[in-house]
Structure 1
């Protein structure tokens, strides 16, 4: 997947989601992405009232790019709580992912 497609996705997520951080994880985060891989984004927001609804909304924001993408949305508090605990996706993202956006 071209880097410019990833950059376009991050730009849309940053504009729409007002995140504190966006992490690319999974195969692309590890640098092992291939043509059949999807993009896995972890969007960390200061607070999230309804994470599921926010995931759906952000996937819709990315739909014009026509990319295979998964978006996970969590609050800063949830990320702090779970990113040090092995066996969950937040730990995986924290350990192997690449931070592509940090709020100024």
Structure 2
């Protein structure tokens, strides 16, 4: 399976379980520098999310997807409040990331 098709499958699996407002791919995958050994960094934005619970559900649904994935779940309020804080992971995700899904 190609990297492109693997990412599409990953996005569909996240949408299936999370129904997010937005999914942003960031890190090496967003910069076009990823390889077969790279992980995929994903920011999932979901209103009213219990971050811990939803993150667990996403990881369970990604089982067998064939890629290492790092998922960060945030609410739109988190983005508004912390999006400009360069010390937090939300910042690079918003600045360099690519929106791959928007509801």
TM-score when scaled to structure 1?
Answer: 0.91
Task: Structure 1: state its 5+ residue gaps.
Answer: none
Aligned residues: 102
1:30-41 matches, cutoff 5 A: 30-41=31-42
Aligned to 2:93: 93
- 1:11 is matched with 12
| Poorly superposed stretches of 4+, deviation over 6 Å | none
Give 3-state SS (helix, strand or coil) of 1:43's partner: strand
User: What SS class does the counterpart of residue 64 from structure 1 fall into?
Assistant: coil
d(CA) in 1 for partners of 2:75 and 2:69? 20
- TM-score, scaled relative to structure 2: 0.92
Residue 91 of structure 1, CA deviation: 0.3
Counterpart residue number, 1:46: 47
Which residue is equivalent to 1:69? Answer: 69
Aligned to 2:83: 83
Classify the secondary structure of the residue corresponding to 2:63.
Answer: helix
CA distance in 2, matches of 1:98, 1:81: 20
- Name the Cα RMSD after superposition: 1.2
Q: What whole-Å deviation, never above 9, does each CA across 1:53-104 have from its counterpart, x for those lacking one?
A: 211110110112132111111111001111122121100000011000000x
Q: Deviations over 1:1-50 (max 9, x none)?
A: 610100111011112101000000111012211222101111000111x2
SS of equivalent to 2:45:
strand
Could you tell me which runs of 5 or more consecutive residues in structure 2 were left unpaired when the two chains were aligned: none
